Structure 1
Amino acid sequence: MNIFKYKKNKNEVIITGLQEDVSNTSIVIPETIDNMPVVEIGPRAFKLSNITDIKIGANIRKISEEAFGYCRKLHFITWNGTCDEIPDGCFFFCENLKTFDFSAIKKVGRYAFRASGLQEACLPENIEVVSEGAFDGCSELHSVIWHCKCNVIPSDCFFKCSNLKAFDFSSIKSIGKDAFNQGGLQRIDLPATVEKVYERAFHECRNLQFATWNCKCDEIPDSCFAVCRKLKSFNFAGIKKIGSHAFELTDLEKVDLPATVESISEWAFSTCNGLRSVTWNCKCDVIPADCFYECTNLKQFDFSGIEKIGKHAFEGSGLQEVNLPENINAVLVGAFERCGELQSATWSHKCELIPSNCFEGCLKLTKFNFANAKRIGQSAFRNSGLQEVRLAKNIKNVYDSAFYECRKLQFVEWNCQRDVIPDTCFARCSSLKEFDLSNVRKIEERAFIYSGLTSVTLSTGTAVGHGCFACCNDLEKVEWLSDESIEKNIFAECKNIKEILISDKVMNIAVGAFAASPNAEISFV
C-alpha cells in the first residue's frame, strides 16, 4: 500500500507528503511508485508530521525547502541520495534530531538546522557552502569541527548556540553578521587568517571572558562584543577603528587606546560599569556621542589630547572632576549630564558655548567659574547642585531653563551683556530668596515660577512675561516700579504676599493679578 502523496513529472515521481491517517512513523522513501522512479521530495512534504526516522535512497536527486520542518519527533536520518544539498529550512525545529552525517553534502542551506536538537556538527572538506543561519538556535550544539572548503562563517550561523563554548577559527577568513550572537563562546582567538569580521559577530556572548584579536581585520565592527558581560580586558594594539556599541555593556575594567586607533564611533564603551581607567593616546581627537555613557565607575579622564566632546559622551558616568584644557574647542549637548559624582569643572576658553543639558542633574556640582564662557545653553545646569551663579560681562546670552530646578541655588549675580532673563531660567530654585533685577530689562515667561524669592523689585521699563513669579509661596513683598501693565497670572498663586508697592504710572492692573494674596496691602508710589 502506497502511503505517500505524490505528483508526476515527465514519468518521474515527486513526493509531496503522506496520505491521511498514516500510522507508520518509520519512513523509507521507495525507489519507485507505480513503476515510475521517485526522484524528488517536494517543498514541506513532511512538515509537521510525526515521523521518527527516514531513509533516503540513491534515487533521490533533489530535496526541496522545509521538507522536514517541524518534525519534532524525527531523530534519525539515512541520507544516501545523490542530492548533495540540504535545502533551506530542511530540518528546522526538529528538536530530537541529535546527529547528522555530512559526509555526502556539498551545501548546507539557509537555516537548514535552525532550532534543531543537533549536538555536534562535523563539517568535512566536501562541504563548499554553508548558508546563512545554518545552525541558528541549536541550543544543544556543543561541538563544531569546521574542515569544509568554505572559509566563511555566514550571518546567524551559530546564533543562540548557547552550549557552543569553543570554536577553532584557524581556517576562517570571514565571520558574518550575528554569526555567534547570544552564543556560549568562552574564549575567542582570531588568527591572522581572519580578514573580515562583521557587525554583532559576538554580540551578547555572555560567557565570553577572553578575546585575542590577531587577525588582519583592523576594525572592530558595530556591536561586536556588546553585552559580553564577562569580558574584562581587550588588547587594542593594531586596531584602527572601533565601531558603534562595540563594547557596550561589557565588563571592561581598563581601556588603553594606542596611536593606531584612528576612529571611534558612538556608544563604543557605553554602560561599561566596571570601567575605571581610560588611556586615550589614539589619533582620534573626538570623543564620540555617548562613548562613555553610564560608565558609573569612570572617575577621571585626561582631556589633554581632545578637541571635541560629543553629545552625551559622559552622561551618567562617575566623573568627579572635569578639567577642559585650551585644546577643547567644542563640547556638545549633554556631554556631562547626570554625572552625579561631579564636584568640579573647569571650562576651556576656546569653547564659548556651554551646551544644552551639559551639566543637567550634576547634583554635587556646587560651583562653576563662567569666566571662559560666552553663552549658556538651554537647561545647561538644570537640576544641578549650584549654590551660586556669577554672570559677568563675558556672558552674551543665556537660554531657556539654564538654571531650572537648581534647588540649592542661593545667590545670583546678573551682570551679563544680555539684559533678558529667559523662560523658566530660575524656575523651581526654591532656595533662591533674593535677586537683584536692576540690570534686567525683560523677564520672560515663568522665569521664577515656584522659586523661593521673598521679595521682588522691578525697575522702570522692565517687561515681565506671563506667569513670571507665579506660585512663589515665600514671596512677601513686591515693588512694581516699572510703568508696564501688571498682567494676569504674573503673581498667580503667590498666597503669602503681604506688601505691594505699585508705580502710579502703571495704567492697567489685570483682574486677578493678586487674587491669591488676600492679605496684601497695596500702595501706589
Structure 2
Amino acid sequence: MNKLITILLCLTAIGSGTLKAQYTLSINDVEFDTSTGTITNYINHRQKNIVIPGSFKGHKVRAIGKYAFSRSDLESVVIPASVTDIGEMAFSINSLTAIELPKGLKSIEALAFASNYIRAVNIPRSVRSIKTSAFANNRLTTVNIPRKVKSIGAYAFAYNLLTSISLPLSVSSIGRHAFLDNQLSAIPLPNTRKTWRNCDNEVVREIAVFTKEYYVEGVAKPR
C-alpha cells in the first residue's frame, strides 16, 4: 500500500455495539493551504468516519476552513489538538452524534456544527465567544460553557433538547434566540443573580431584557 489509506488500529464503538474503523485523512483527501495551515475543502466523500491528522507533509493543521466538511455525510470526526479555529459551517449538515473539541480551540464560527445529531458538547476553556447558530439544530441535552466565554451568539444553541443551562459569570451578552426551542423553563442570568422564567412553559420568546452589566435577548420576562 504505497499510497496510504490509513485505517486506524483503534476502533470506535458506534450505536449498539457496531464497530467502525476510523480513516485518517491524507493530503490527497483534502485541499490544504500550507501558508495558513487551513483545510479548505474535503474532496473524498466516501469516508464517513474520519481522523484529521495534526499535520500534512510537515505543515501543521491549524484551522478548518469555511464549509470545508459541510454536507459530507460524516458520522464521526476526530479534530487534532493543533486546530485553533473552526470556520463558518465547517462541519454543518452531517450526521455527527458526538464531537470532542481541541483544548486549544479559540474560535467557533457561525453554524460550525449546525444541523447534526450531537448530544453533548464541552466548550474548551480557550474559547471566548460562541458565534451565531454554532450548535443549532442538533440533539444537545448537555452543554458545558467554561468561565472565560464572554458572548453567545444569536441562535447558538437553538433547536436542541436542553432542559437546563448554566452560564458562567464571564458571559456578558447573549444574542437573540440563543436557546430558542429547547426544553428550558428558566435561564439564570449570572451577572444579575436573577432568573427569568418563561411563564407559559413554552419555547423561549422574542423579548429583550436589559440590565446594567448584562443583556439577553430571546428570554421571556415574567408577568
Same fold (TM over 0.5): yes
1:84 to 106, 111, 120: 106
Deviation at 1:174, TM superposition (A): 11
The 10-residue stretch of structure 1 (12-21 or 117-126) with the greater mean CA deviation from structure 2? 12-21
**Counterparts of residues 398-437 of structure 1 (less than 5 Å):** none
Q: Which residue of 1 aligns with 2:203?
A: 183
Q: Quick check: 2:150–2:173 contact (8 Å CA) kept in 1?
A: no
- Counterpart residue identity of residue 90, structure 2: A
Q: Is the alpha carbon distance of 1:148 and 1:98 closer, same or farther for their aligned partners in structure 2, counting shifts above 3 Å?
A: farther
Structure 1 stretches lacking a partner, 5+ long: 176-180, 204-210, 212-233, 235-525
1:64 to 65, 77, 87: 87
Instruction: Select which of 139, 147, 166 maps to 2:186.
Output: 166
Please point out which of 151, 170, 188 is paired with 1:129.
151
- Alpha-carbon offset, residue 43 of structure 1: 0.5
Task: State how far apart, in whole Å, the 1-side matches of 2:56 and 2:216 are.
Answer: 50
Please say if residues 79 and 100 of structure 2, whose CA atoms lie closer than 8 Å, have aligned partners that are also in contact.
yes
The residue that corresponds to 2:51 in the other structure is 28
Task: Give 1:103 shift.
Answer: 3.2
Structure 1 SS opposite 2:30: strand
Q: 1:43 to 1:196 in 2, by over 3 A?
A: closer
Size of the alignment, in residue pairs?
Answer: 189
User: CA 1:92–1:86 in structure 2 vs 1: closer, same or farther (change >3 Å)?
Assistant: same
Partner of 1:142 in structure 2? Answer: 163
Q: Secondary structure at the match of 1:7?
A: strand
Deviation at 1:109?
0.7
Q: Higher strand proportion, which one? A: 2
Aligned partners of 2:129 and 2:102: how far apart in 1? Answer: 15
Query: Which TM-score applies when normalising by structure 2?
Result: 0.72
- Structure 1 segments of 4 or more deviating over 6 A? 192-195
1:334-377, CA deviations, whole angstroms, 9 ceiling, x for partnerless residues?
A: xxxxxxxxxxxxxxxxxxxxxxxxxxxxxxxxxxxxxxxxxxxx
Q: TM-score, normalised by structure 1?
A: 0.33
Q: Which has the higher contact order (CA 8 A, sep 6+)?
A: 2
The share of aligned pairs that are identical, in percent, is: 19
Correspondences of 1:223-262 after superposition (within 5 Å): 234=223
Corresponding residue of 1:157: 178
Structure 1 residue 107, shift from structure 2 partner: 1.3
Offset from partner CA, 1:12-61 (integer Å, 9 cap, x none): 532123233423x2222111112322222110111112212222222113
Cα shift readout 1:258-289 (whole Å, capped 9, x = no counterpart): xxxxxxxxxxxxxxxxxxxxxxxxxxxxxxxx
When the two chains are superposed, the root-mean-square deviation of aligned CA atoms in Å is: 3.2
What CA distance in whole angstroms lies between the structure 1 residues aligned with 2:184 and 2:114? 18
CA 172–70 in structure 1, closer or farther in 2 if over 3 Å, else same: farther
SS at match of 2:62: strand
Q: What residue is the counterpart of 1:442 in the other structure? A: none
In the alignment, structure 2 segments of 5+ residues that lack a partner are: 5-25, 196-200
Residue of structure 1 in register with 2:30 after alignment: 5
| Cα deviation code 1:478-524 (max 9, x no counterpart) | xxxxxxxxxxxxxxxxxxxxxxxxxxxxxxxxxxxxxxxxxxxxxxx
